[in-house]
Structure 1
Amino acid sequence: MASLNCLPHSLPIVSHSSSTKCLVPGNPKRRRLGLKSSRHSRRQSFALTTRAAVDGVSAVDEVSGAAKYAVDEVTSLGRSPLKLKLLSAVSGLNRGLAATEDDLRKADAAAKELEAAGGPVDLSTDVDKLQGRWKLIYSSAFSSRTLGGSRPGPPLGRFLPITLGQVFQRIDTLSKDFDNIVDLQLGAPWPLPPVEITATLAHKFELIGSARIKIIFDKTTVKTTGSLSQLPPLDIPRIPDGLRPSSNTGRGEFEVTYLDADTRITRGDRDELRVFVIA
């Protein structure tokens, strides 16, 4: 069977051999220089069409899917300078603990630029984009230097010897689990070493509208790490609603204002700006 080596719009010359050759009109030198890259892309399209036919998938769907991927890649590259600008604005701020009023303004302005470039977030048909373990790199509320951020919480480094470590969000879109995971170091009287713990604040979440998330607190699990990692975890159940202070309802809401494969921006119900990267 004759091989198919001809590019579209070329003129076939049929010989008596088992192969089919192509003659491209015009200067041979121009053919070599001008069609080298296009030949590669056309071969890719031909391969996509052939694979689609074998798999029983529409060739149009297959090629359009490849085109969408290419558009997504270009769009992501177009936003890269804005992402770098945001990351530069929040770098060196110790997740916001060291942020000044000027730092807060710069971070907010950089986030708004990226949010505008990305457009509205719609999770109603693709909530799986939230799936994964996300590392917090900035929170505007941490400038208050409390673990509660804009809500009441233990102060950091003032009255209690608490050092904040890494902060993560672990989201499971299938089970609707939404866990805030915080590494802490608690000071101890000399000569005892500091106690390292990981606190997991377990929540359930639900999607409200297209991009707003509602979380409901369930319980806190505290696990010692480091030299005391052999100790079992301790579960602290949720305080009944009747005994809860009015300032701590165990519920919260925030809006996802930007989301791609590795970066997420959220704005909380108390104007808290958070920036996450995939961990």
Structure 2
Amino acid sequence: MAMAVALSSSTATPTTKLWPPSTSQPPRFLLPIIPSNPSSNTNLLTSSPSHKWRLRISFFPAFLNKGKGNNVTALKQELLQAIEPLDRGAEATPEDQEMVDQISRKLEAVNPTKEPLKSDLLNGKWELIYTTSRSILQTERPKFLRSKLNYQGINVDSLRAQNMESWPFFNQVTADLKPLNSRKVAVQFDTFKILGLIPVKAPGRARGELEITYLDEELRISRGDKGNLFILKMIDPSYRVPV
């Protein structure tokens, strides 16, 4: 909430991320939403690189970055191409993680939204497309039991957030957000919904902090207080977290 503010979510030990706590708690999940059409998303998803691309980008990062400077569009495309074959981070090697982190830092350096918590661009439904959080990725589970998509809804005006899993469990969690500065929030989870239906009160220790380091109308990058990276794309700016 699985806020990546990329809120982190999971049902293992409570983590200080905007996605919910972990397995000693109710089932894990990112909230990060129940899909619309994951394949039809903004111009960010223009090409699908092959595994050959993954090798090329690993061997020639300097070449790929050459001449891009502060070209935000080119950096975003480079980032999306780098993470596309990584199964939202579940298949990322340490080298892949380092590469994604480096490109993310270049984007963070040219962040066009200096005070994201004061921006309406934060409102809406976001899809988690990459994270380093193993609990949110559920990598300890067999693949067929991992959530296929994770979403996050955010309301800046009411300071509410919602993390959602898709199939097979459709778990959800909601949270209150408390701004710590214009980029960072404290997250307190309040209610889990098992299978999207059965409410369970979140324990008081289900809390965390999240800093939004990049924000525009298409892409959001956040970093949690446990060092995890969250990258999300906007899929529905009109979405509001249910009261």
Alpha-carbon deviation of 1:123?
Answer: 3.2
Match of 1:238 in 2: 202
Distance across 2 between alignment mates of 1:267 and 1:154 = 20
Match of 1:141 in 2: 133
Instruction: Check conservation: 1:121, 1:256, Cα contact below 8 A.
Output: no
TM-score of the superposed pair, with normalisation by structure 1: 0.55
Task: State percent identity of aligned pairs.
Answer: 26
Does 2:64 align with 1:100? no
1:168-219 CA-partner distances (Å, limit 9, x unpaired) = 010012222101111242xxxxxxxxxxx21111111122112001110101
Match of 2:103 in 1: 110
Alpha-carbon deviation of 1:131?
Answer: 0.4
Match of 2:226 in 1: 270
If asked which structure has higher relative contact order (CA below 8 Å, sep 6+), I would say 2
The SS at the match of 1:174 is coil
Name the larger-Rg structure.
Answer: 1
Match of 1:169 among 128, 131, 152: 152
Letter in 2 for 1:254: L
The SS at the match of 2:200 is strand
The SS at the match of 2:107 is helix
Alpha-carbon deviation of 1:120?
Answer: 7.0
Tell me the number of residue pairs that the alignment of Structure 1 and Structure 2 aligns: 166
Distance across 2 between alignment mates of 1:237 and 1:141 = 23
Higher strand proportion? 1
1:207-257 CA-partner distances (Å, limit 9, x unpaired) = 211200111010111236xxxxxxxx2111223x4xxxxxxx211101111
The two structures, once aligned, show a CA RMSD in angstroms of 2.2
1:8-34 CA-partner distances (Å, limit 9, x unpaired) = xxxxxxxxxxxxxxxxxxxxxxxxxxx
Counterparts of 1:19-98 in structure 2, within 5 Å, are 78-98=71-91
Higher helix proportion? 1
Letter in 2 for 1:128: D
Match of 1:208 among 170, 175, 180: 180
TM-score of the superposed pair, with normalisation by structure 2: 0.63
The SS at the match of 2:110 is helix
Distance across 1 between alignment mates of 2:119 and 2:202 = 27
The SS at the match of 1:118 is coil
Distance across 2 between alignment mates of 1:201 and 1:235 = 9
The SS at the match of 1:165 is coil
Distance across 2 between alignment mates of 1:121 and 1:90 = 25
Distance across 2 between alignment mates of 1:162 and 1:94 = 15
The SS at the match of 1:164 is coil
